[in-house]
């Protein structure tokens, strides 16, 4: 956003704060609903769904902090998720931690994932676009294969988590609130980054990296910082996930569908928006779980998931949030025009309907 675009909005202070109040109260309502959810639906299946969804909200928002803001599409996020999982799994096993003490390892999951992101970033962030995507996929397979082949990862059979002797009826609740805390913190971090100078640098890189460099953005440093933050949060989510699932195999820790789901959630909700990926996760993860339960045929649910994916890409290419906010802005503009004390001239024509997507300058060629 350029400064000139900010100023006119700032002048209409009262309305803006009205909208902000609306947004804040909406967020508070969602947060309150999330907090009371396990009390309203104590059924373990419901809290399991809730936990799953919150983990994906955190992971998709973390993915968005790097990929959404910088435009570098990372399809290897499972590397950090799996690293977090294996860090706590190996730590708990080798240091023989039991009971609640295992949760002391969680920060380590984030730190190790972040530490791994540095060398990966040094290699991958030198290239752009397709090559970057492919390198992240290659990293993903390297890590999956390492988990299979090394002895300390437990190989194909994986590792089993220490048993937590919690009461069965409320077993899920601490996990649920832990994931809720993580998801809320991730969204807060994402919001802070987006409105900071750092976030502006990231989006400048997304729009035109060479020009951003020319204007003094230290592109490598900025990209690396976002990559590491994203990896840290994803690693934390992985650690929490491990204790909940209580076991890990290479294929579940490093799952290609995990990478894809994050990207789909980001695109569905709105790439590069603060709440878009969270909204995407909130809608898509329960939908996917529901599909799997509804159609006991696993393959049919996979086909439907792919079809849903395609529909989103073809018909909602910019995501739910940007499309919706465009519609609302257009509606408000039309509304205001109609109510305004107009001159005798014919009523102002309604603004043109929002284009489904912003045309690129070089859109002449679309094969």
Partner 1 sequence: MANQIYPAIVDGILGGGVYALMAVGLTLIFGVLDIINVAQGILVVVGAYLSYVLSVHLHIDLFAGLLITVPAMFVLGVVIHTTVIRPLRGSERTAMSLLACFAVAIILEGALYWIFGPDVVSLSASYVQSSFKVAGFYISYIYVYCFVLAVILVAAIYLLLYRSRFGRAVRATMQDPVAARLVGININRVAALTFGIGVAVTAAGGMAFGATSGGFSPNSGYDLISRLLAIVILGGLGSIGGALAASVFMITLESVVGIWSPNWAIVVFYAALVLVLTIHPSGLFGRAAVRAQ
Interface residue with partner 1, options 58, 135, 182, 265 (CB under 8 A): 135
Binding mask 26-45 for partner 1 (x = CB under 8 A): --------------------
Is residue 310 near partner 1 by the rule CB under 8 A? yes
Residues 339, 348: Cα–Cα separation, whole Å: 11
- Given the complex with partner 1, which of 3 and 359 has the nearer CB atom? 359
**In the complex, what is the shortest distance from the CB of residue 351 to partner 1, in angstroms, rounded to a whole number?**
20
Is residue 350 near partner 1 by the rule CB under 8 A? no
Is residue 314 near partner 1 by the rule CB under 8 A? yes
Residues 217, 222: Cα–Cα separation, whole Å: 8
Residues 285, 206: Cα–Cα separation, whole Å: 27
Interface residue with partner 1, options 21, 29, 127, 188 (CB under 8 A): 127
Interface residue with partner 1, options 256, 283, 289, 292 (CB under 8 A): 256
Residue 161 backbone dihedrals phi, psi, to 5 degrees: -75, 155
Residues 56, 76: Cα–Cα separation, whole Å: 15
Residues 55-84 that bind partner 1 (CB under 8 A): 73
Residues 181-220 that bind partner 1 (CB under 8 A): 210
Residues 253, 176: Cα–Cα separation, whole Å: 20
Helices (H) and strands (E) in the chain, counts: 16, 2
Q: Mind spelling out the 3-state secondary structure of 236-271?
A: HHHHHHHHHHCEECHHHHCCHHHHHHHHHHHHHHCC
Is residue 309 near partner 1 by the rule CB under 8 A? yes
DSSP bridge pairs for 247: 160
- Given the complex with partner 1, which of 32 and 303 has the nearer CB atom? 303
Answer for the pair 229, 65: CB distance below 8 angstroms, yes or no.
Answer: yes
Interface residue with partner 1, options 247, 307, 324, 342 (CB under 8 A): 307
Helix (H) or strand (E) holding 160: strand 159-160
- Given the complex with partner 1, which of 185 and 308 has the nearer CB atom? 308
Is residue 131 near partner 1 by the rule CB under 8 A? yes
Which residues contribute to the site for partner 1 (CB under 8 A)?
73, 123, 126-131, 133-135, 137-139, 141-142, 145-146, 148-149, 210, 256, 260, 263-264, 267, 271, 297-300, 302-303, 305-307, 309-310, 313-314, 317-318, 357-360, 362-367
């Amino acid at each position: 956003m350029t400064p000139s675009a900010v100023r006119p909005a700032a002048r209409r202070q009262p309305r803006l704060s009205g909208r902000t109040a609306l947004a804040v109260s909406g967020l508070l309502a969602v947060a309150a609903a999330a907090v009371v959810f396990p009390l309203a639906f104590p059924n373990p299946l419901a809290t399991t769904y809730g936990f799953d969804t919150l983990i994906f909200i955190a992971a998709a928002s973390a993915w968005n902090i790097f990929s959404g803001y910088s435009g570098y599409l990372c399809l290897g996020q499972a590397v950090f998720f799996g690293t977090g999982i294996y860090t706590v799994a190996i730590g708990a096993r080798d240091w023989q931690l039991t009971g609640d003490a295992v949760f002391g390892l969680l920060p380590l999951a984030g730190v190790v994932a972040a530490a791994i992101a540095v060398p990966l970033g040094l290699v991958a962030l030198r290239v752009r676009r397709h090559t970057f995507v492919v390198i992240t996929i290659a990293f993903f397979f390297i890590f999956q294969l390492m988990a299979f082949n090394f002895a300390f990862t437990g190989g194909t059979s994986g590792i089993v988590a220490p048993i937590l002797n919690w009461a069965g009826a409320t077993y899920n609740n601490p996990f649920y609130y832990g994931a809720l805390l993580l998801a809320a913190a991730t969204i807060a971090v994402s919001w802070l980054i987006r409105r900071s100078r750092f976030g502006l640098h990231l989006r400048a890189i997304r729009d035109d990296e060479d020009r951003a460099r020319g204007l003094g953005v230290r592109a490598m440093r900025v990209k690396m910082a976002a990559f590491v933050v994203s990896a840290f949060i994803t690693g934390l989510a992985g650690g929490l996930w491990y204790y909940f699932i209580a076991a890990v195999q290479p294929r579940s820790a490093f799952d290609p569908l995990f990478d894809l789901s994050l990207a789909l959630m980001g695109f569905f909700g709105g790439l590069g928006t603060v709440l878009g990926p969270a909204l995407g996760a909130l809608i898509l993860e329960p939908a996917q779980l529901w599909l799997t339960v509804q159609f006991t045929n696993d393959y049919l649910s996979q086909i439907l998931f792919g079809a849903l994916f395609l529909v989103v890409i073809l018909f909602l290419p910019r995501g739910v949030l940007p499309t919706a906010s465009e519609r609302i802005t257009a509606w408000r503009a039309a509304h205001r025009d109609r109510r305004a004390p107009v001159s005798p001239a014919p009523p102002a024509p309604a603004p043109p309907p929002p284009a489904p997507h912003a045309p690129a300058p070089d859109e002449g060629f679309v094969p």
